[in-house]
Structure 1
Amino acid sequence: MCEYVYSSGKKCRRKPLKGSKYCSLHIPFEEGELLYGEKIKEIKRRAFERSLERGVRHFEGVQLYDIVIIEKELKEALIFRNSKIKRLVIGKSKLKNLTLINSEVDSLIIVESTIDLLYVTGVNSYGISVCSVDFKSSILIRNSSVKYVMINSTEFRPEEVTAEEEFGEAGRMAGRIEISNLEGVRRIAINSKYPLIERLSKELGVEFNVVKRPVRAHTLYLGGIKFDESPRFKRQVRIYVNRFSGQLLVENVSVPGHVEIVNSKVRYPEFVHVTIYNNIVLRNSKLYSDENWNLAYLPNLLAELEVYGFIVIENCHFNNPYLAEVFYRIARTTWEKSGDKEKADEYYYLEMLARRKRVLQYYRKGPKTLRRTFRLLEVLFEFFFADLTCKYGTDWKRPVFLWLALVIFGFPVLYALTSSVTPVNSGFDYIYFSIVTATTLGYGDLHPVGLGKVIASVEAIFGMFMWAVFLTVFARKYMR
């Protein structure tokens, strides 16, 4: 019998190969190549396929070159433990579970398949790729050394409602993609370009019909990940999330490169003890939350997320103004630290818009009391005198153009329509009177009559206010 001893203490019952103490599945690569040369690859392949046909699903200590499972249905869990596998490819198949424990797998590829549970732990691998896969339970990649993790066009498709879902349990395992406690990682990518599928299709002679679609899951959890800090990778995108739909939770992660979240629908974005040494980019995405989550998690976000580079938020939609306010505030602080006041002002303006919208939503609810009415009037006042005039002090051109538009055109037209300035010899007199009134000079050669006194009073107040606004904004923009 084969000399391999399982972890249970029992020996393998297979017949050893000629010239070796081990069977075709357990014979080490070096010994097999020494005895049989390149033929050992075919010997191992045939031995594995025969075992699979006989109903063997638990493989321990095997050493295999290529495992290719195409167009098969395995109703029992397929388990590899303490094994060495050069490449494991599963395509166009239906699997109950695939479990890899304490093994070396150079490359794991699952494409255009259906699987209940993928569980990887204690594995040393160059790359794990899951492409165009429907899963019914979870994808768990834990406690391993993996350089590249790529998940494309993968969706959670439950067969039935679980007990957790029935009772609204937020921490459910069903529908969870978890990538945690990995080391030596160079990149984690969701819906990234993956040309390997075309090459694999030509090599195996199988046409893979990979349809580009979002990655959908209840939760995408990234936690306890240690990245490869080699200088050649430091400025690359280390976490890339594209076209993802679900909750995003990042915890206990220090990213030496960049983080990108693009074209996604993210629910309850949560960052806990996260440090990003370059930039984080949010682009063309929608972020969702609710009031309870905002109260529980958002106040801590400023302390939990530390970004040494910049936060870039472009063309993003937030369903909740408080969520938008906090993210824009964090983005503003990163640009202020770098000294880029122009960019910081852009995010400050967006932050103030979100804050005003949040206050407006809050005071619109409930009965219309006197206090609520005054608060709504205060928001209206803020819009006219802080936003409309100078975008909360971030735009010096707006007060200048507004002043010129009203003083040169607006108020003179009102005076002319009401004929409320005397004596007037030409249309230019109205413009002259408007300028003199707005600057509060009041020479007295022209004076308002009737309704013109009200208009002139309003213009005088407007002129004084706009000069104060302009000087304040100008000083803020160029003197700080």
Structure 2
Amino acid sequence: MTSAAQDDDYWRAPGADKRQVKELRAALEQRARSGQPMTGFQLKGAGLAGIDLVNHGSHHGFILREADLYRADLQNAHLFALDLRGSSLMKADLRHANLHCADLRDCNLLGIRLDGARLDNVIWDRQLLQERKGRELYHRGNVAAALELFQEAEETYRNLRLHLERAGLFEQAGMFFHREMVVRRLQMPRYSWQRLLSWLVDLFSGYGEKPLNVVLFSLGLIGLCGLLYFLVGVNQGDHRLGLDLDQGLLDNLGDLLDCLYFSVVTFTTLGYGDISPHGLARPLAAFEAFVGSFTMALFVVVFVKKMTR
């Protein structure tokens, strides 16, 4: 077993059944410590519970890239900083495993079991493999295959989110919730109202995960409306504030700042009354006040959601 286990042909042979091989765990640990490359290993269904693949005494973990670990038993495995990039961990059992600092980029994580696993500082993809492939197929016109991959991506994002929430890693959980909602949107009809509404929610708040988006939208709307007030004109008592080509640059700049002030007051629905709209500025002010009250309520909801986790 020992000589065969150290042979590259054995480890990479897709037909070799390693599910019932005794001493497989010890052989793989020995191979890792030998320093020889471990790429493309076929470990489908392998019994590796409790395996120790920690590169002790080094800040860099062992490399086990592009491995097939479909349904592998990795319960209670010690995988600190293990580089698993490109591997298939589909339906692998990693319950109570130590994945601290492991690299799981480009991995197939569909159906992975992570109950009780240590997930601190895991290196994740911002977009899972299924989502990236689905987008490629979608752009090529293969919609049916793309939708199937988007469904798998949504399921995987949801599974990871739930495990991360249980582990108290809410920042990463929020990232996967956002991706979950994005791939759900991609499954909607392309030109439907549901998809447009979902896109707008993502744009304005990142599905509740990005309070900064709400702030940036608010600042953008205030600036745009302030500029429009400057162009159409507002009243300050008997004096008109707005663009006037007959007055100097500094006077126009002062009127612009006053219009921005009026925009802030209107957006926040304070309504001091020192400046009032007239003509085309009236419907614009009504629109800004309505959107402003809604946006401030949205910001409170999103901010509280983030801060109370």
TM-score by length of 2: 0.69
Give the corresponding residue for 1:405.
220
Give the corresponding residue for 1:474.
303
Give the corresponding residue for 1:382.
198
8 Å CA contact 1:252–1:272 kept in 2: the answer is yes
In the alignment, residue 381 of structure 1 is paired with which amino acid?
L
Distance verdict in 2 for CA 1:192–1:450, change over 3 Å: farther
8 Å CA contact 1:335–1:341 kept in 2: the answer is yes
Residues in 1 aligned to 2:44 and 2:298: alpha-carbon distance in whole angstroms: 48
Give the corresponding residue for 1:145.
none
* Aligned residues with identical type, % of pairs: 22
Aligned-residue offset at 1:431: 0.7
In the alignment, residue 323 of structure 1 is paired with which amino acid?
E
- 3-state SS of 1:221 partner: coil
Distance verdict in 2 for CA 1:391–1:479, change over 3 Å: same
Could you list the runs of 4 or more consecutive aligned residues of structure 1 that deviate by over 4 angstroms after TM superposition?
191-196, 236-240
Residues in 1 aligned to 2:299 and 2:221: alpha-carbon distance in whole angstroms: 15
Give the corresponding residue for 1:15.
none
- In the alignment, does 2:269 pair up with 1:424? no
Distance verdict in 2 for CA 1:215–1:454, change over 3 Å: same
Pick aligned residue for 1:285 from 106, 129, 132: 106
Q: Deviations over 1:52-104 (max 9, x none)?
A: xxxxxxxxxxxxxxxxxxxxxxxxxxxxxxxxxxxxxxxxxxxxxxxxxxxxx
Residues in 2 aligned to 1:433 and 1:214: alpha-carbon distance in whole angstroms: 64
Give the corresponding residue for 1:250.
71
**More helix by proportion, 1 or 2?**
2
Gaps of 5+ in 1: 1-104, 110-127, 134-138, 140-150, 157-174, 197-211, 289-297, 365-372
Distance verdict in 2 for CA 1:271–1:287, change over 3 Å: closer
Residues in 2 aligned to 1:349 and 1:463: alpha-carbon distance in whole angstroms: 24
Residues in 1 aligned to 2:117 and 2:85: alpha-carbon distance in whole angstroms: 24
Q: Deviations over 1:228-247 (max 9, x none)?
A: 58x999xx999963034xx6
Alignment of 1:28-39 (within 5 A): none
- 3-state SS of 1:249 partner: coil
8 Å CA contact 2:51–2:78 kept in 1: the answer is no
In the alignment, residue 264 of structure 1 is paired with which amino acid?
G
In the alignment, residue 70 of structure 2 is paired with which amino acid?
L
In the alignment, residue 455 of structure 1 is paired with which amino acid?
L
Give the corresponding residue for 2:44.
221
Alignment of 1:140-159 (within 5 A): 151=11, 154=12
Aligned-residue offset at 1:382: 2.0
Aligned-residue offset at 1:129: 1.6
- Bigger-Rg structure (1/2): 1
Distance verdict in 2 for CA 1:456–1:232, change over 3 Å: closer
Pick aligned residue for 2:64 from 223, 226, 241: 241
Give the corresponding residue for 2:248.
none
Residues in 2 aligned to 1:256 and 1:214: alpha-carbon distance in whole angstroms: 19
Give the corresponding residue for 1:129.
6
Distance verdict in 2 for CA 1:413–1:178, change over 3 Å: farther
Distance verdict in 2 for CA 1:181–1:240, change over 3 Å: farther
**More strand by proportion, 1 or 2?**
1
Q: CA RMSD in A?
A: 3.9
8 Å CA contact 2:73–2:93 kept in 1: the answer is yes
Distance verdict in 2 for CA 1:305–1:334, change over 3 Å: closer
Q: Deviations over 1:242-263 (max 9, x none)?
A: 034xx65224552432285633
Distance verdict in 2 for CA 1:396–1:258, change over 3 Å: same
Aligned-residue offset at 1:323: 2.1
Residues in 2 aligned to 1:333 and 1:282: alpha-carbon distance in whole angstroms: 19
Aligned residues: 267
Residues in 2 aligned to 1:379 and 1:458: alpha-carbon distance in whole angstroms: 24
Pick aligned residue for 2:229 from 415, 420, 423: 415
- Which has the bigger relative contact order, CA under 8 A and spacing at least 6? 2
Residues in 2 aligned to 1:215 and 1:397: alpha-carbon distance in whole angstroms: 42
In the alignment, residue 106 of structure 2 is paired with which amino acid?
S
TM-score by length of 1: 0.47
Residues in 2 aligned to 1:286 and 1:343: alpha-carbon distance in whole angstroms: 17
Residues in 2 aligned to 1:348 and 1:232: alpha-carbon distance in whole angstroms: 33
Pick aligned residue for 1:396 from 211, 219, 224: 211
8 Å CA contact 1:258–1:276 kept in 2: the answer is no
- 3-state SS of 2:271 partner: coil
Give the corresponding residue for 2:90.
270
8 Å CA contact 2:267–2:291 kept in 1: the answer is yes
Q: Deviations over 1:285-344 (max 9, x none)?
A: 1649xxxxxxxxx6xx37x55342226523543222222222222222232223232232
